[in-house]
Each structure stands twice: as structure tokens, then as C-alpha cells.
Amino acid sequence: MRIIFASRKSSLARRQTEWVMAAIRAGHPGLKTGVLALSTRGDELLDRSLAVLGGKGLFIKTLEEALADGRARLAVNSLKDMPTQLEPGFRLAAVPVRADPRDSLVSHYPGGLLGLPAGARIGSASLRRRAQVLALRPDCRVDVLRGGVGTRLERFDAGEFDAILLAAAGLERLGIARGEPIDPDQLLPAPGQGALALEARADDAEVLALAATIEDPLTRDAIRAERSCCRVLGAGCTSPVAAYATVTAGRIRLRALVAREDGRRVIRAERYGGRAMGAELGAAVAGELLERGAAELLNLHAGTA
């Protein structure tokens, strides 16, 4: 059997896809794999924020088209880029073991976010990161920085920014020994950050079974809670929303927040629940956030996006 995997063209996306292919081949020695590398609209339009362009779904649509027309049978995505509701006909086939979910700060100064000088210019493409950084350091400036990891690091090295924020997992997967991971108590990660998602057609039973062989149940339980929270909030992938779940001794701890983009207001909630109750736990945390005024902040964001 030969399986074609759809992937974005970036170095990180290709590295992630290669990792997934190797993991599946390890359990199926006779399997042959290939990569269909695609350029998505989200990769091509780098001069505007994703919130303005319509969200991270721009990274997914092109890969889904390749699944739909048979050019590929599995797509490898970063889970944080995937909408909480997939398009009809597609399924989240597997979630492998999660890498480091934290954000990482690449900086010209020691001491993390608190060590940056007053008025420091920070580069980030994420409204979630922007809101939390400004809540902690309202004196700093956060400017849009998009593109691949290499492009962002080049702009940092050229002196455009005092610091930039990247996903720790991306740096790790690329073998780039730069950056200082930030404690989630200071900067709460995005839903699904650090995790990969294998997407397939819902009717492709053969490929669904193949993908399931690298499923990690603990990661699936954690991201189910995170994504359920965002789904109930009605928050998109680019909203200033964070949700992070950990699974310990059969229990899930879910922390989440909704913020104003300028960081002037941050609403937080946290709950614990059993592993089998991830969806319910996510809904409960979302309900608590909404009771505290999250809808107002989300509506404010929607009105300015």
C-alpha cells in the first residue's frame, strides 16, 4: 500500500509530516509513503494578520481539497490551526503524542518577558499572545510578525524586534536550540498547541484505521477539553483565547482565558474533571468564562477583526 500525505510547504510542516510518516511506517514496514506539498492561502498572504484574512482555516482548506479529490489520503496539520468543527466529510483521524505546548521567547535580553526593557518591540502573529503579553507588560509594543520560523528568526536577527514569540514545539521539531519556554502560568498556550492532527476523509476506513495506530489517548483527552471550551465559546483559531489541559493520574486540569486584544482585561477559569469528561469539562469552563463576561470580549474582538 502507498499513502500520499498532504502537507504545507513550510520547513516545519514538512518536518512534522515526515515525523508522522516515519511513526506510521514503524508499525507497518511494508507501507510506502509520499508527500504532496501544497502552498495555502494562509502561507501566501503574509502582509496581514490572520484575523483580518479570515482565520487559520486558510491553512487547512487547500489540504482538505487534496483529500476530497483523491490526490492525498491523509493531511498533517498543527492542531492549533484546525477549526473546532471540521467540514462535513472529514474526520480528525488521529492525534499523536503532544510535544512541548508552551510558547517560547527568543530575546536579545535575559530574564524572559519581565526582563525586557521598557518599550520593547515584540513580534508575534497571535492575538492570544499579544493580549497576554500586554496584560503582563503594557509598556511593550507587540507588532504583527508572520511567516515561517526561519523567516521570523531572520527578522529578529536583523534587529527588527527586541524579542519574538514562537511555539516551543516548532523550534524543537526543527532542531533549533533557541528561545526560552514560558511557564503557562505566565502565558497560557493556544488550544492544541504542540499537538499534531491527522485529517482524513470520513469514509476512508482503511486510512482511518492506519492513522489510529499512532493515536495518543492522553493527548486526545487533553485537546478534547481544550477544543470543547473554544467550541462553546464560539471562538475561532485567531481569537484572543487560550486553553490548556493536562492529564495526571486519570484527571484533567483545564485552564482557559479570554482577553481583550490590548490586554486591559483578562478573564480566567480553571476546573478539574475525569479523563472521560473532557468535552463536559471544556463546556463547564467555557460557561464560567461566559458568566464572567467573555462574550463581551469576544464580540469586541469580532467587531475589530
Per-residue pLDDT of 13-38, as tens digits, reads 999 999 999 999 999 999 999 999 99
Q: What local confidence, expressed as pLDDT, does residue 1 receive?
A: 87
Residues of the chain with CATH 3.40.190.10: 2-96+195-215, 103-181
Q: What local confidence, expressed as pLDDT, does residue 125 receive?
A: 87
The percent of residues in the chain predicted with pLDDT above 90, rounded, is 85
- The helix (run of H) or strand (run of E) holding residue 302 is helix 294-304
Q: Distance between CA atoms of 19 and 234, rounded to whole angstroms?
A: 32
Q: How many CB atoms lie within 10 A of CB 172?
A: 16
- Once rounded to an integer, what is the mean pLDDT over residues 163-177? 97
Task: For cell 499537538, name the residue.
Answer: 195
**What is the pTM for the complete model shown?**
0.91
Task: For cell 508552551, name the residue.
Answer: 102
Q: How confident is the model at residue 303 (pLDDT cuts 50, 70, 90)?
A: low
Q: What local confidence, expressed as pLDDT, does residue 247 receive?
A: 97
Residues of the chain with CATH 3.30.160.40: 224-304
Handedness of CA 193, 101, 21, 126 (dihedral sign): positive
CATH of domain 103-181: 3.40.190.10
Q: What local confidence, expressed as pLDDT, does residue 91 receive?
A: 97
Per-residue pLDDT of 190-200, as tens digits, reads 999 999 999 99
- Once rounded to an integer, what is the mean pLDDT over residues 166-173? 97
Bridge partners, 266 (sequence order): 259
Q: What local confidence, expressed as pLDDT, does residue 77 receive?
A: 95
Q: Distance between CA atoms of 255 and 184, rounded to whole angstroms?
A: 9
Report yes or no: 117 and 109 within 8 Å, Cβ to Cβ. yes
Q: Distance between CA atoms of 269 and 257, rounded to whole angstroms?
A: 6
Per-residue pLDDT of 51-85, as tens digits, reads 444 445 567 999 999 999 999 999 999 999 999 99
Q: What local confidence, expressed as pLDDT, does residue 142 receive?
A: 97
Report yes or no: 260 and 246 within 8 Å, Cβ to Cβ. no
Cβ partners under 8 Å of residue 70, min gap 6: none
Q: How confident is the model at residue 115 (pLDDT cuts 50, 70, 90)?
A: very high
Q: For 224-304, which CATH class?
A: alpha beta
Q: What local confidence, expressed as pLDDT, does residue 45 receive?
A: 54
Q: Distance between CA atoms of 80 and 221, rounded to whole angstroms?
A: 15
Candidates 279, 195, 191, 282; CA nearest to 237 is 191
Q: What local confidence, expressed as pLDDT, does residue 238 receive?
A: 77
Q: How confident is the model at residue 304 (pLDDT cuts 50, 70, 90)?
A: low
Beta strands in the chain (DSSP E): 2-8, 32-38, 74-78, 90-94, 103-107, 121-124, 141-144, 163-167, 180-181, 196-201, 241-248, 251-259, 266-274
Active site residue 81: yes
Q: How confident is the model at residue 40 (pLDDT cuts 50, 70, 90)?
A: confident
Active-site annotation holder among 43, 47, 81, 157: 81
Cβ partners under 8 Å of residue 236, min gap 6: 55, 56, 83
Per-residue pLDDT of 185-223, as tens digits, reads 999 999 999 999 999 999 999 999 999 999 999 999 999
Report yes or no: 101 and 193 within 8 Å, Cβ to Cβ. yes
Report yes or no: 128 and 240 within 8 Å, Cβ to Cβ. yes
Helices (H), 31-189: 41-44, 50-53, 61-68, 127-136, 149-157, 168-174
Per-residue pLDDT of 45-56, as tens digits, reads 544 444 444 445
- In the predicted structure, residue 43 carries a pLDDT above the cut 60: no
C-alpha cell at 135: 496584560
**Coil, helix or strand at residue 24:** helix
Candidates 62, 10, 53; CA nearest to 144 is 53
Report yes or no: 90 and 64 within 8 Å, Cβ to Cβ. yes
Q: What local confidence, expressed as pLDDT, does residue 53 receive?
A: 44
Q: How many CB atoms lie within 10 A of CB 220?
A: 18
Per-residue pLDDT of 247-294, as tens digits, reads 999 999 999 999 999 999 999 999 999 999 999 999 999 999 999 999
Q: What local confidence, expressed as pLDDT, does residue 54 receive?
A: 47
CATH of domain 2-96+195-215: 3.40.190.10
Q: What local confidence, expressed as pLDDT, does residue 299 receive?
A: 86
Q: What local confidence, expressed as pLDDT, does residue 59 receive?
A: 76
